[in-house]
C-alpha cells in the first residue's frame, strides 16, 4: 500500500481517486481469478491425475495400478518413472472395435436426444417469453420445480409409466387405442424419452433468456410490412435466439454423451454407451488405467470440436461487425 | 449487561466444544453391508447391549465395494464382500488379520462352511462367514406351467435349451448382470469345469449364451426381485435369497403370483458373503465386537429368519424357523450339497476376457 501511495502522490489531480481505482482494479482481477482457480482445482488438477493414471499399468494393490512419476524416490526415481510412461492403454482402445462403437453410439444417441429436446423445448420457451410478464415467474418456477425431486426418482417414475403393465399402456388400452401393450421400456425410445425429460430445463432456460431479451417490435415491424408470421419467425425470432439455441444444445448434448443412469434404468441390455463401457473397465475389470484412457479420449472427443465451433463462431461474429 | 451476554455465549461455545469432544469418544462402528441384508432390530439390540453406535450403510454390487476399498480410506470398520472378491482383496492388502482372541463366538461356526471359505481365505484369517447361498432358477409357477406344460423346473436345460427358453420369451426372462455367476453356470451345463480359464471353454460358453440371448429381456442384478414378485417376468437366474424375498413379497401382495426357486440338478454355484475388517479401519476393537456379536447363535438366526439365507453358524440352527431350516433350497440336503461348486477368483487376464465375453453376450458387440 505504501508503494501505491508513493507512486500516486506526484499526479496531484488524481491523487484522491487513484488508490480507489487501483483497489477497484484489484477487485476486478480477483473476480476473474476466482473462476480460474476454480477451473484449476476442479478441472485441471483432476484431469492431470486421470491422465497420469491412464499412463500406468494395473496391479493387485491399493490403489490398483502401478505408481508412475512418483516423487518419493527423488529426481532420479522421477526420471526412471518418466521412461516407464507408456501409451499402451491408448493403443489398446484402437485394437477392439468395442470402444469406437461405444463412442459413436453415445454421440448418436446424444445428438438425436438434443434435437428432440430442442423441438420440445423451443415452443415452451417461446410460450414463456411471450406470456404476460405477471405470470412469467410462475412459469419459470414450473420449469425449475422438477429439480426439487431427486433425478433418480424421476427416472424411476418413468419405469412405472412405460413398462408393459404401466400407466401409459393401461391408459391406451382402456381407451382402445391399442390392443397389445407397447414395448417401450428397455428400448432406445425409452432412453430418448428419459433424456429429453431430464434435460428439458437445461434447454428451456437459455432459450427463454434469449427469447425474453428479444425486441418483439422487430417482428411487429416485419408483419406491418407484410411478412407472413412463419417467415417472420424464421427470419427474425429464430436467428436472434441462436445464442440460446447453441447454449441449450451444448448443455444437453455434453452430459447426454456420458449419460449412465438413464440408459441403465430405461434402456435395454443391448445399449452400448461410453458411460457403461467406462463403468465396466473401472468396476468389472478393475482396470483403472484403461478406464482413465477411455475418459481422457471422451474429454477430447467432446472439447476439441466444441473449441473449433466456438472459434468459428467468434470469427463469424467479428466478420459480422 | 452486554459483557455478561458475551461471557455467557463464550461459555456456551466452550461447552459445545467440550460436548463435541465428548461425542467423539463415543464408540462407533461403521458397517457397510449389502442392501436388504439384515433385520434392523439386530443393530438396535447391539447398540443397547454394548453402547457402540452403528453407522450402517449399504451397497448392491461387489464392484462398488471393491472400488471403495481399493481406493483406500473408506472409513468402514466392517465390510461384507463375497468370497471370490475377498480373496483378491486380501492379496491387494485391503484387510487386517482378525484377532481371534477377541472372537470367542468363533466356536459356534459350522465346519462345512468354514472348510469351503478357507479356499478363498486360507485359515479363515481375515474373515467370518455372514450368509451363504446358491445361484439358481427363480420362476413364476403358473406362467411356466402355461408356457411349458410343466411346473417342474429342476434343470439348467429350461434356460440353456433355446427351444424351451423361446417359449418363455414373451412372459419375460431376466439374468443376473454378473459374468462371475453366469459363465461358470454355463460351463457346468456344458459339462466343463466351472472354474475353467481356458479361452476355448469360455468361447464355448459364449456360444451357448448367444444362442439363448434373443429370448432374454434384461441382464440386471436386482430388478428381478420386484419383476418376479409383480408377475412381470416368468424366469430369472438369481441369488437364492433374492428369489425368496420375491416369493414373500408376492405372497404379501396377494395377486395370485406364486414364485418357485430351484437348485438345478446339474449343480449350482455356492457363494459366501464374508465379514472382514479393512486394514485402515478407524475402530478395529468395536468392529471385532460387532463381528463377535453377529456370531451369537440367536442373533444370526434372527438375521437368517429375516433375509432367508442360510448362515455359516452351526449353533444358530436350533433358533432358525423350521420352514427355512428344512427347505432344501435354503439348506440343501447332502445329495444336493455334493453337486454345489465354488468358483475361484479370476486373474486379471482372464477377468478381461470374461468381461469382454460378457459385453459381447449382453450387447451383441
Ordered structural domains, chain A, with CATH? 97-320 (1.10.3720.10)
Instruction: Residue B103: give the domain boundaries.
Output: 27-130+272-334
CATH of the domain at B189: 3.40.190.10
Q: Are residues B151 and B54 in the same domain?
A: no
pLDDT < 70 positions in chain B: 1-25
| Residue that has been written with the C-alpha cell 438369481 in this structure | B238
Q: Are residues B217 and B297 in the same domain?
A: no
Give the nearest partner residue to B348 out of A58, A62, A280, using CB atoms.
A58
Residue B181 located in a structural domain: yes
Give the nearest partner residue to B364 out of A64, A102, A270, using CB atoms.
A270
Chain B contact for A280, CB < 8 A?
yes
Is the pLDDT confidence value at A8 over 60?
Answer: no
Residue B105 located in a structural domain: yes
Q: Tell whether ipTM is more than 0.90.
A: no
Rounded-to-integer distance, Cα A310 and Cα B174, Å: 46
Residue A11's pLDDT is 46
Residue pair A144/A204 in contact (Cβ under 8 Å)? The answer is no
Most confident of the ranges A5-14, A218-227, A301-310:
A218-227
Burial per residue of B258-285, b for 16 or more beta-carbon CB atoms within 10 angstroms, e otherwise = bbbbbbbebbbbbbbbbbbbbbbbebbe
B residues 143..202 contacting A (CB < 8 A): 177, 179
Give the nearest partner residue to B93 out of A62, A186, A287, using CB atoms.
A62
Q: Are residues B236 and B143 in the same domain?
A: yes
User: In this complex, do B365 and A97 lie within 8 Å of one another by their Cβ atoms?
Assistant: yes
Q: Are residues B64 and B100 in the same domain?
A: yes
Give the nearest partner residue to B92 out of A62, A165, A284, using CB atoms.
A62
3 state DSSP class of A117 = helix
Set of chain B residues whose Cβ sits within 8 Å of the Cβ of A286: 66-67, 70, 348, 351
Total domains, chain B: 2
Exposure of B93 in the CB half-sphere (CA atoms within 13 A): 10
Chain B contact for A286, CB < 8 A?
yes
Chain B contact for A269, CB < 8 A?
yes
Residue pair B95/B89 in contact (Cβ under 8 Å)? The answer is yes
Residue pair B167/B147 in contact (Cβ under 8 Å)? The answer is yes
H or E segment to which residue B134 belongs: strand B127-140
CA distance A254 to chain B (A): 24
Give the nearest partner residue to B70 out of A63, A97, A102, using CB atoms.
A63
Residue B363's pLDDT is 86
Q: Are residues B101 and B231 in the same domain?
A: no
Residue A183's pLDDT is 86
Residue B292 located in a structural domain: yes
Rounded-to-integer distance, Cα A283 and Cα B65, Å: 9
Q: Are residues B72 and B87 in the same domain?
A: yes
Q: Give the residue from chain B lying closest to A268, CA to CA.
A: B218
User: In this complex, do B232 and A163 lie within 8 Å of one another by their Cβ atoms?
Assistant: yes
Rounded-to-integer distance, Cα A213 and Cα A129, Å: 9
Set of chain A residues whose Cβ sits within 8 Å of the Cβ of B69: 62
Residue A268's pLDDT is 80
Residue pair A66/A57 in contact (Cβ under 8 Å)? The answer is yes
Q: What's the predicted TM-score (pTM) here?
A: 0.79
Residue A66's pLDDT is 81
Q: Which residues contact B30 (CB under 8 A, 6 or more apart)?
A: B55, B57, B75, B76, B77, B78, B282, B283
Distance of CA B328 to the CA centre of its chain: 19
Amino acid at each position: 500500500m505504501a508503494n501505491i501511495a508513493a507512486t500516486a502522490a506526484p499526479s496531484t489531480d488524481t491523487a484522491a481517486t487513484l488508490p480507489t481505482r487501483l483497489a477497484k482494479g484489484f477487485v476486478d482481477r480477483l473476480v476473474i481469478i476466482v473462476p480460474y482457480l476454480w477451473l484449476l482445482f476442479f478441472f485441471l488438477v483432476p484431469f492431470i491425475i486421470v491422465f497420469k493414471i491412464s499412463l500406468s499399468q494395473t496391479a493387485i494393490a491399493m490403489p490398483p495400478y502401478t505408481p508412475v512419476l512418483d516423487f518419493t524416490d527423488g529426481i532420479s526415481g522421477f526420471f526412471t518413472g518418466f521412461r516407464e510412461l507408456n501409451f499402451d492403454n491408448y493403443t489398446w482402445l484402437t485394437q477392439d472395435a468395442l470402444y469406437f462403437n461405444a463412442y459413436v453410439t453415445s454421440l448418436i444417441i446424444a445428438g438425436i436426444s438434443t434435437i428432440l429436446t430442442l423441438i420440445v423445448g423451443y415452443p415452451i420457451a417461446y410460450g414463456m417469453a411471450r406470456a404476460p410478464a405477471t405470470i412469467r415467474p410462475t412459469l419459470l418456477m414450473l420449469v425449475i420445480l422438477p429439480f426439487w425431486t431427486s433425478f433418480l426418482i424421476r427416472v424411476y417414475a418413468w419405469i412405472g409409466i412405460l413398462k408393459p403393465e404401466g400407466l401409459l399402456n393401461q391408459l391406451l388400452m382402456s381407451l382402445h387405442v391399442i390392443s397389445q401393450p407397447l414395448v417401450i421400456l428397455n428400448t432406445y425410445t425409452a432412453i430418448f424419452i428419459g433424456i429429453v425429460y431430464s434435460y428439458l430445463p437445461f434447454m428451456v432456460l437459455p432459450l427463454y433468456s434469449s427469447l425474453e431479451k428479444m425486441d418483439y417490435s422487430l417482428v411487429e415491424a416485419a408483419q406491418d410490412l407484410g411478412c407472413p408470421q412463419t417467415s417472420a419467425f424464421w427470419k427474425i425470432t429464430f436467428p436472434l435466439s441462436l445464442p440460446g439455441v447453441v447454449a441449450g444444445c451444448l448443455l444437453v448434448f455434453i452430459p447426454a454423451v456420458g449419460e449412465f443412469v438413464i440408459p441403465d434404468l430405461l434402456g435395454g441390455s443391448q445399449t452400448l454407451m461410453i458411460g457403461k463401457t467406462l463403468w465396466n473397465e473401472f468396476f468389472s475389470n478393475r482396470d483403472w488405467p484403461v478406464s482413465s484412457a477411455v475418459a481422457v479420449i471422451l474429454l477430447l472427443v467432446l472439447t476439441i470440436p466444441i473449441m473449433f465451433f466456438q472459434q468459428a463462431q467468434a470469427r463469424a461474429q467479428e466478420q459480422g461487425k | 449487561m452486554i459483557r455478561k451476554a458475551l461471557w455467557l455465549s463464550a461459555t456456551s461455545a466452550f461447552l459445545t466444544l467440550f460436548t463435541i469432544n465428548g461425542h467423539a469418544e463415543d464408540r462407533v462402528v461403521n458397517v457397510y453391508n449389502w442392501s436388504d441384508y439384515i433385520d434392523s432390530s439386530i443393530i438396535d439390540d447391539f447398540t443397547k447391549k454394548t453402547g457402540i453406535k452403528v453407522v450402517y450403510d449399504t451397497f448392491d454390487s461387489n464392484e462398488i465395494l471393491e472400488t471403495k476399498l481399493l481406493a483406500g480410506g473408506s472409513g468402514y470398520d466392517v465390510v461384507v464382500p463375497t468370497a471370490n472378491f475377498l480373496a483378491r482383496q486380501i492379496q491387494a492388502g485391503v484387510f487386517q488379520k482378525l484377532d481371534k482372541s477377541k472372537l470367542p463366538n468363533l466356536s459356534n461356526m459350522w465346519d462345512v462352511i468354514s472348510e469351503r471359505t478357507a479356499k478363498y481365505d486360507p485359515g479363515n484369517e481375515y474373515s467370518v462367514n455372514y450368509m451363504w447361498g446358491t445361484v439358481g432358477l427363480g420362476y413364476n409357477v403358473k406362467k411356466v406351467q402355461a408356457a411349458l406344460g410343466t411346473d417342474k423346473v429342476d434343470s439348467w436345460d429350461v434356460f440353456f435349451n433355446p427351444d424351451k427358453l423361446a417359449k418363455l420369451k414373451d412372459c419375460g426372462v431376466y439374468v443376473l448382470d454378473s459374468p462371475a455367476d453366469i459363465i461358470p453356470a454355463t460351463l457346468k451345463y456344458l459339462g466343463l469345469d466351472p472354474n475353467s480359464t481356458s479361452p476355448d471353454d469360455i468361447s464355448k460358453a459364449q456360444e451357448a449364451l448367444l444362442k439363448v440371448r434373443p429370448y432374454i429381456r434384461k441382464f440386471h442384478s436386482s430388478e428381478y426381485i420386484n419383476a418376479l414378485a409383480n408377475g412381470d417376468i416368468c424366469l430369472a437366474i438369481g441369488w437364492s435369497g433374492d428369489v425368496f424375498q420375491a416369493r414373500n413379497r408376492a405372497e404379501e401382495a396377494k395377486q395370485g403370483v406364486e414364485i418357485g426357486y430351484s437348485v438345478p440338478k446339474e449343480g449350482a454355484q455356492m457363494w459366501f458373503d464374508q465379514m472382514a475388517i479393512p486394514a485402515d479401519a478407524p475402530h478395529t476393537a468395536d468392529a471385532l465386537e460387532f463381528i463377535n456379536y453377529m456370531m451369537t447363535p440367536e442373533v444370526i438366526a434372527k438375521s437368517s429368519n429375516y433375509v432367508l439365507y442360510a448362515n455359516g453358524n452351526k449353533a444358530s440352527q436350533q433358533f432358525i424357523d423350521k420352514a427355512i431350516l428344512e427347505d432344501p433350497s435354503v439348506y440343501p440336503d447332502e445329495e444336493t450339497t455334493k453337486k454345489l461348486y465354488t468358483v475361484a477368483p479370476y486373474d486379471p487376464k482372464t477377468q478381461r476376457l470374461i468381461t469382454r465375453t460378457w459385453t459381447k453376450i449382453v450387447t451383441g458387440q
